[in-house]
Amino acid sequence: MSTTTTLSPLWVRVLAKRAEAEGICSLELVDVDGRELPPFSAGSHIDLHLPNGLVRQYSLCNHPEERHRYLVAVLRDPSSRGGSSAVHELLKEGDVLQISEPRNHFHLVPAQHAILLGGGIGVTPILCMAERLRQTNVQFEMHYCTREPSRTAFQARIAASSFADRVHYHFDSGAPEQKLDARTTLGTPEAGKHLFVCGPNGFMDWIIGTARELGWSEDNIHREYFAAAEVDTSFDGSFQIKIASTGAVLTVQKNQTITQVLEADGFNLPISCEQGVCGTCLTRVLEGAIDHRDMFLTDAERAQNDQFTPCVSRAKTGCKTLVLDL
């Protein structure tokens, strides 16, 4: 069967909505009945069911031992598909909304020295990790890269934190000497040194590419994307999917996603980001060649050809049928 799991819905109230920087607001969420919220670990995110019907994922950025609240921050994206604009325009203090339980695809693995790199709003899970690493006395450094100070969220919080001396700011608008030198920051790879990075795709590609050039092991590079990769769909064609449990065969047209076809046929596959970023719809594939278009699976996981994200991925050209473990 599919590797996806269904998490229990939660109902929360927006206790506070604050402007954290230019184009960025935070939401402080509490249980509607005043109960403790489910525990979470550093790197976790939740689904927000927004007033316009969309479901979007946002990383938790408060201390992972807090149970009385969840804190998320959202950048208003000019190219938003409706998620960030709904948070900024529609949500207000006192509103009640549904969220999912926290889940974590960006785990803070044990390390002797951790390098935390946050690009823009990608700082949110990084902040949570910094809180946890400081609490457990693990050696770490945090680098926060943004366009300019006015677009840099949580500066006051960081300044007041117990890890403020470990945070380095890098502004695109600043002097050359304060800009991030990725090669120097990452340095020589070591078995106990781990990289944790989150940010825009270009930033991620730069940091991860530099780490690989320096000889870092893939096992020591941990990442979380929050935007889909740009994919050329002009050569997409139709193909079929076969449901292993029933033998039903469905056709996916060139302008359809697999999840759309499954939903139309009555399959309630869990979906969330619809961009191949969050892993919610991750599904096992029993037969067929996969054209991976996600930003969730690692290269090693893709090479195994046994699971994919049907919200964006397809059958490779020449593969007529994908057999799904559904």
Q: What percent of the chain has pLDDT over 70?
A: 95
> CA of 108: how far to CAs of 40, 74, 105, 111, 141, in Å?
12, 22, 10, 8, 14
* Structural contact between residues 261 and 285, judged by C-beta atoms closer than 8 angstroms: no
Q: pLDDT tens across 136-194, in order?
A: 999 999 999 999 999 999 999 999 999 999 999 999 999 999 999 999 999 999 999 99
Cα–Cα distance measured from residue 40 to residue 257, given in angstroms and rounded to the nearest whole number: 32
pLDDT of residue 7: 52
Name the residue with higher pLDDT: 283 or 1.
283
Coil, strand or helix at 234: coil
Which pair of tokens denotes residue 185?
């920051």
pLDDT greater than 70 at residue 5:
no
Q: pLDDT tens across 15-24, in order?
A: 999 999 999 9
* Structural contact between residues 250 and 262, judged by C-beta atoms closer than 8 angstroms: yes
Which domains are present in the chain?
Answer: 9-100 (2.40.30.10), 113-225 (3.40.50.80), 239-324 (3.10.20.30)
Side-chain-facing half-sphere of 105: CA atoms under 13 Å: 22
* Structural contact between residues 48 and 99, judged by C-beta atoms closer than 8 angstroms: yes
* Structural contact between residues 67 and 156, judged by C-beta atoms closer than 8 angstroms: no
Alpha helices in the chain (DSSP H): 83-89, 123-135, 155-160, 182-186, 201-213, 258-264, 299-303
Q: pLDDT tens across 210-253, in order?
A: 999 999 999 999 999 876 666 778 788 899 999 999 999 999 99
pLDDT of residue 225: 86
Q: Which residues contact 191 (CB under 8 A, 6 or more apart)?
A: 220
Q: What is the mean pLDDT of residues 33-60?
A: 94
Beta bridge partners of 75: 24
pLDDT of residue 8: 63
Q: Which residues contact 186 (CB under 8 A, 6 or more apart)?
A: 115, 195, 207, 210, 211, 214, 216
> CA of 25: how far to CAs of 84, 85, 87, 153, 164, in Å?
10, 11, 8, 9, 22
Q: What is the mean pLDDT of residues 276-284?
A: 86
Q: What is the mean pLDDT of residues 73-86?
A: 84
Q: What is the mean pLDDT of residues 56-65?
A: 94
Strands (E), 205-288: 221-225, 239-243, 249-252, 283-287
Residue 282, amino acid: L
Q: pLDDT tens across 93-120, in order?
A: 999 999 999 999 899 999 999 999 999 9
pLDDT of residue 228: 66
Q: pLDDT tens across 298-318, in order?
A: 888 899 999 999 999 999 988
* Structural contact between residues 84 and 75, judged by C-beta atoms closer than 8 angstroms: yes
Q: What is the pTM of this model?
A: 0.81
pLDDT greater than 80 at residue 82:
no
Q: pLDDT tens across 121-139, in order?
A: 999 999 999 999 999 999 9
